[in-house]
Amino acid sequence: MRAAKARAADRGESLKDLVNRALAHELGIPSAPKRKAGRVRLPLVARDAAPAVLVTNDDIASALESEDIERYSSS
């Protein structure tokens, strides 16, 4: 077990990954390629992109007021 932990540490992987890869190799199952971990460059949405919907504070207030009128006018 110590040798397995040491080998996993040397390869920069977890013991679980080492065991899974070894079992897959022994059973003849192709192991999934390891994804390259990387950082995401922000922002994900370009600033030049125009918003699909322009909503103002007045629009929100009007919508809330309409909901209140519908909800409380029947009671």
| pLDDT by 10s per residue, the chain, length 75 | 899 899 889 989 999 999 988 898 888 887 666 667 788 788 776 667 666 788 899 999 999 999 999 988 866
Q: Considering the domain boundaries, does residue 43 fall inside one?
A: no
Please tell me the predicted confidence (pLDDT) of residue 34. 65
Please tell me the predicted confidence (pLDDT) of residue 64. 95
Crossing angle of helices 2-11 and 15-27, rounded to 10°: 100
- Does this model's pTM top 0.75? My answer is no
Q: Considering the domain boundaries, does residue 57 fall inside one?
A: yes
> What's the total number of domains in the chain?
1
Q: Residue 59 sits in which domain range?
A: 2-33+48-73
Q: Considering the domain boundaries, does residue 25 fall inside one?
A: yes
Contacts of 7 (CB under 8 A, 6+ apart): 18
Q: Whole-angstrom Cα distance, residue 25 to residue 17?
A: 12
Residue 20, Cβ density class (10 Å: 0-12 exposed, 13-18 middle, ≥19 buried) = middle
Please tell me the predicted confidence (pLDDT) of residue 33. 65
